[in-house]
Chain A
Amino acid sequence: MSGGLSAPTLGKHSGETVGIVSYGTYIPRFRITPDEIGRVWGADGVGMGKNLNIVRKSVPAPDEDTITISTEALRVAIARGGVDPKDFGAVYVGSESHPYAVKPTATVVAQAVGSTPDITAADFEFACKAGTAAIQTCIGLVASGMVRYGVAIGSDTSQGAPGDALEYSASAGGAAYIIGRENVIARIDGTASFTTDTPDFWRREGQRYPTHAGRFTGEPAYFRHVTECAKRIMHRMSTKPEDYQHVVFHQPNGKFPQRAGKLLGFSEEQMKYGLVTPWIGNTYSGAALIGLANVLDHARPSERVLVVGYGSGAGSDAFDITVTDAITQLDRSVGTPVEHSLQNGVNLTYAVYAKFRGKIRLPGED
């Protein structure tokens, strides 16, 4: 196999350990159910929820956005890892809902955690896989010695057009990963990507809601990229599905990752912690990374995790991760465990949801 990011530049081959030093997540407190959404549109919300395997989705408060979610997630990661934010060399935020079309999310986040000014920062956009792309970038910077720590965040407050199928799943949340070589709680031993020009989902400049290509988003887009990427990394790492205790897929709904797992030969047990979308919805750039966080919340030393992200447009990034002994030293009690957010929240009516999501406009707004 040629091209792309390949495993031999990392980890076990070079003798250099690069991996996750700490991580944190942030999932807003509010929820809405498919039933409630369907009620407003005269649709079978319960049926829709079943089809998508979505019980409820998270909703950001009116004062939350990708910048605040990213900041909160990173603050948890910093507190857990006891890392000095001044030692960060890079902060990258991947999202498809950056609050500004022009002006970085990453600068606000870096400033809010006290990392500025001796740092490089940028926003990434690649639909739902901007966060995993940021992790790959950080791996490169750390492995090359250009930075001591790199921060990669995947975070979104995504919107589906009112009444559209996406409205049942598009939610909000984010995860932050501090990538480094010291006190690594989970080694990243390999990464791979699979990328093509496949227009399954997009949002044009100035448009309020994204557009998707219906059933085209399935086979040629999500499934092809996720399975091809998974196969490539397992080929490179010489692994089989049974070598992993946990697998995490990008999860635009609760069904797609289950099917991808089945196609690749993973069991439900392996997907148990990595699948979070049914209880919080699709957090887009946050989705696979929150799934990984839930795995790490539960993981024991030496457990191996396969992560396969996906972003429309389209591409997949995969990571082969092995949890180290250091995870027992990480203070996982800091911040809110993902599990808590899967089970708790405050349900909203569609009316309040519409207000929170800016679907109700005040005079003077566009």
Chain B
Amino acid sequence: MSVARFWRETLRRYNLGGSKCTECGKVYFPPRSVCPHCTTHRKTMGRLEPVQLSGEGEVFSYSVVHEAADGFEMQVPYVLALVRMKEGPILTAQLVDVDPKDVAIGMPVKAAFRKLKAEGAGGVIHYGYKFAPVLSPTEKVG
């Protein structure tokens, strides 16, 4: 993905900036310019306001990915999930800091800031949200 193409979305990808319909109150992520929910959706054009998501949510569905997406090869196996945010919208993101066998639908998670991928060894590094279990790891060591 080109530098500019990723860069223009960094505010959303770094910090979970969504949008909220001023007519019906529904929250969207990524932000939308028209509300798909309002039956008079034409009226909502330009009437959605930015809203900051809390980063809190729960696992809605998940998969342990063994054949990586382009640029994610070093992370396999990784957990891909649909995460339903407290504010309503569902996001597609990786789960981190969790053993794949411990993932379950309904598990509470919170946003984490991680490297998504790099454009090769010399290219730009893309950062963004992933999700980690809310409960801190309880694995005792040593």
Chain A interface (Cβ < 8 Å from any Cβ of B): 29, 31, 33, 55-56, 61-65, 67-68, 71-72, 75, 99-100, 108, 111-114, 279, 336, 340, 343-347, 355, 358, 360, 362, 364-366
Contact = CB atoms under 8 A, between A and B. Distances in A.
Contact of B113 (A72, A99, A336, A366): A72
B5 interface: no
A32 to B, nearest CB: 10
A83 B98 CA distance: 30
A67 B10 CA distance: 14
Interface in B84-142: 94, 96-97, 99, 112-116, 120-122, 125, 127, 130, 136-142
Contacts of A100: 125
A64 B139 contact: no
B96 A63 contact: yes
B11 interface: yes
Q: Which 5 A-B pairs give the minimum distances between C-beta atoms?
A: A112-B14, A63-B114, A63-B115, A71-B113, A366-B121
- Of B14, B96, B122, B141, chain A has the most CB atoms within 10 Å of the CB of B141
B1 interface: no
Contacts, number: 82
B73 interface: yes
A44 B94 CA distance: 38
A348 to B, nearest CB: 10
A157 B56 CA distance: 27
A61 B97 contact: yes
Contact of B75 (A63, A72, A347, A366): A63
Main SS of chain A's interface residues? loop
Contacts of B127: 67-68, 71, 108, 112
B15 interface: yes
Nearest to B130: A63
B4 interface: no
Given A33-B142, A63-B75, 10 more contacts: A56-B141, A63-B115, A68-B115, A72-B112, A111-B11, A111-B14, A112-B15, A344-B137, A345-B141, A346-B139
5 contacts: A63-B116, A111-B15, A343-B142, A344-B139, A364-B120
A112 B121 contact: no
B114 A340 contact: no
Contact of A344 (B74, B122, B125, B140): B140
B113 A68 contact: yes
A355 B74 contact: yes
B28 to A, nearest CB: 19
B142 to A, nearest CB: 5
Contacts of B140: 343-344
A344 B138 contact: yes
Contacts of B112: 68, 72
A362 B74 contact: yes
- Of A64, A67, A112, chain B has the most CB atoms within 10 Å of the CB of A112
A346 B137 contact: yes
Contacts of A336: 136
B137 A29 contact: yes
Contacts of B142: 33, 55-56, 279, 343
- Of A62, A111, A336, chain B has the most CB atoms within 10 Å of the CB of A62
Given A68-B127, A112-B15, A62 B75 contact: yes
Interface in B1-59: 10-11, 14-15
B141 A31 contact: yes
A362 to B, nearest CB: 6
Nearest to B99: A346
A111 B113 contact: no
A114 B94 CA distance: 22
Contacts of B10: 111
Contacts of A56: 141-142
Contacts of B114: 61, 63-64, 68
A347 B97 CA distance: 13
A141 B99 CA distance: 44
A345 B14 contact: no
A108 B142 CA distance: 35
Contacts of A71: 113, 127
Contacts of A108: 14, 127
Contacts of B96: 61, 63
Interface string B59-84: 00000000000000111000000000
A365 B121 contact: yes
Contacts of B99: 346
Contacts of A62: 74-75, 115
Contacts of B73: 362
Contacts of B121: 364-366
A360 B73 CA distance: 12
